[in-house]
């Protein structure tokens, strides 16, 4: 007997990137930070008293939200802390989108969005990005014409790593009648010289919801901590009505706060990633592998058809290096490579050189 809802019965779940049990692999496939969490996180962990675990945690992660608010100079009431970015995405969809309404994306994009739409049972409308990964012209108008309730845009974009400018996003939010959810999972890796800042838009537009996460920039993917930033009309219903009562555990609240408050350490890791990203991009180009300009911690690398992206992915795996190859249409000729630490990046380049010489 099957009991599940029709939409659930008809869907296939999300397939996360490979997470091999053994540590023999060099993992450049799921965009984790190459650095471990810093000493402040280690200290916060050592300071945890298990006696505190007996009681329920603070239900809205109040202290952590206070730190986040100070960090971004916004109100803590504009912030909701979630069990990873996944929870914020799911919550936003299930709180704001009726099942006869639509979510829109511009493809290619993060494949989880479609899975979440299917699980919710709402419509899913795909627009296609231009060749240069920019949004199609009159995007907001198209969203309105299709009666879209929520549009999900990763920025920096996944899988390309490209950055949509604040001005363009503001123009969309201004014209769009629905909610613009900007998934800023990789925002920490943007070049600071660009002065990219979408948080200021929150005061201007009540229909922008930003997603931030500790998984990438703060090396805490294992802890599951993310947050949403938005107007009260977006944050309040999720905070007080639809999120699970105690969604963030005591230890995660403490460790995330420690990570956030040690900005020096975090920024050092981001600087490193940026410099290695530039090095890697040039070195790959020297090997005949061009890549898109990335503002994230990964590079989308164009693999000449003769070499074949899928074959390259498999060969690298045989050499103990995991990168990502997407089967989706339009992405067959790419591999996505996470920026690793110095040794990992050098070994990647050495191995690629070896493999390319053979072909």
Report the site for a second copy in 121-160 (rule: CB under 8 A). Answer: 149
**Is 247 or 331 the residue whose CB approaches a second copy more closely?**
247
Residue 240 binds a second copy (CB under 8 A): yes
Burial string for 252-263 (b: 16+ CB within 10 Å, else e) reads bbbbbbbbbbbe
CA distances from 63 to 32, 39, 60, 218 (A): 26, 20, 9, 18
CB of 335 to a second copy, least distance (A): 20
Torsion angle of C-alpha atoms 346, 339, 267, 209, degrees rounded to 10: 180
Residue 273 binds a second copy (CB under 8 A): no
Nearest Cα neighbor of 29 from 288, 339, 274 is: 339
Q: How far apart are CA 214 and CA 188, in angstroms?
A: 10
Q: Lay out the site mask for a second copy across 12-41 (x = CB under 8 A, - = otherwise).
A: xxx-x--x-------x--x-xx-xxx---x
Among 107, 206, 261, 310, binds a second copy (CB under 8 A): 206
Of 277-296, which residues contact a second copy (CB under 8 A)?
Answer: none
CB of 234 to a second copy, least distance (A): 6
Among 107, 249, 293, 332, binds a second copy (CB under 8 A): 249
Residue 233 binds a second copy (CB under 8 A): yes
Nearest Cα neighbor of 29 from 13, 18, 14 is: 18
**Is 107 or 249 the residue whose CB approaches a second copy more closely?**
249
For residue 245, what is the DSSP state? T
Q: Which residues contact 349 (CB under 8 A, 6 or more apart)?
A: 280, 283, 284, 287
Between strands 298-302 and 334-338, the pairing is antiparallel
CB of 349 to a second copy, least distance (A): 22
Give CA 180 to chain center in angstroms: 15
Q: Which stretch binds a second copy (CB under 8 A): 233-241, 289-297, 307-315, 328-336?
A: 233-241
Nearest Cα neighbor of 31 from 145, 259, 187, 148 is: 187
Among 70, 98, 126, 275, binds a second copy (CB under 8 A): 98
Residue 114 binds a second copy (CB under 8 A): no
Residue 264 binds a second copy (CB under 8 A): no
Residue 342 binds a second copy (CB under 8 A): no
E strands of 218-277, at which residues? 226-230
**Is 259 or 312 the residue whose CB approaches a second copy more closely?**
259
Residue 47 binds a second copy (CB under 8 A): no
**Longest C-alpha distance within the chain, in Å?**
61
Residue 3 binds a second copy (CB under 8 A): yes
Residue 248 binds a second copy (CB under 8 A): yes
Among 130, 138, 204, 242, binds a second copy (CB under 8 A): 242
Q: How far apart are CA 180 and CA 165, in angstroms?
A: 14
**Is 292 or 337 the residue whose CB approaches a second copy more closely?**
337
Helix axes 112-120, 84-96, angle to 10 degrees: 40
Q: How far apart are CA 317 and CA 312, in angstroms?
A: 9
**Is 15 or 306 the residue whose CB approaches a second copy more closely?**
15
**Is 83 or 331 the residue whose CB approaches a second copy more closely?**
83
**Is 164 or 252 the residue whose CB approaches a second copy more closely?**
252
Is residue 200 within 8 A of residue 45, CB to CB? The reply is no
């Amino acid at each position: 007997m099957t009991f599940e809802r029709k939409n659930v019965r008809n869907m296939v779940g999300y397939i996360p990137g490979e997470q091999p049990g053994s540590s023999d692999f060099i993992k450049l496939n799921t965009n984790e930070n190459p650095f471990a969490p810093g000493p402040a996180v280690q200290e916060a962990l050592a300071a945890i008293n298990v006696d505190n675990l007996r009681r329920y945690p603070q239900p809205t992660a109040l202290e952590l939200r206070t730190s986040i608010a100070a960090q971004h100079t916004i109100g803590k009431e504009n912030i909701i802390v979630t069990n990873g970015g996944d929870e914020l995405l799911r919550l936003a969809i299930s709180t704001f989108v009726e099942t006869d309404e639509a979510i829109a994306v511009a493809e290619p994009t993060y494949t989880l969005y479609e899975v979440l739409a299917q699980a919710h049972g709402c419509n899913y409308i795909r627009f296609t990005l231009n060749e240069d990964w920019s949004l199609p012209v009159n995007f907001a108008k198209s969203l309105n014409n299709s009666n879209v309730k929520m549009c999900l845009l990763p920025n920096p974009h996944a899988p390309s790593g490209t950055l949509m400018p604040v001005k363009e996003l503001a123009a969309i939010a201004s014209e769009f009648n629905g909610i613009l959810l900007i998934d800023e999972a990789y925002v920490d890796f943007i070049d600071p010289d660009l002065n990219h800042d979408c948080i200021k838009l929150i005061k201007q537009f009540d229909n922008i919801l930003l997603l931030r996460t500790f998984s990438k920039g703060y090396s805490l993917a294992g802890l599951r901590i993310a947050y949403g930033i938005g107007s009260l009309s977006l944050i309040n219903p999720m905070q007080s009505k639809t999120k699970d009562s105690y969604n963030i555990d005591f230890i995660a609240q403490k460790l995330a706060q420690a990570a956030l408050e040690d900005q020096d350490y975090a920024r050092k890791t981001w600087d490193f990633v940026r410099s290695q990203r530039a090095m890697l991009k040039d070195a790959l180009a020297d090997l005949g592998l061009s890549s898109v300009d990335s503002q994230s911690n990964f590079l989308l690398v164009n693999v000449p058809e003769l070499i074949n992206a899928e074959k390259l992915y498999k060969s690298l795996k045989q050499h103990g290096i995991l990168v990502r190859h997407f089967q989706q249409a339009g992405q067959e000729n790419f591999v996505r490579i996470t920026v690793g630490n110095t040794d990992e990046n050098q070994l990647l380049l050495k191995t690629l050189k070896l493999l390319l010489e053979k072909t």
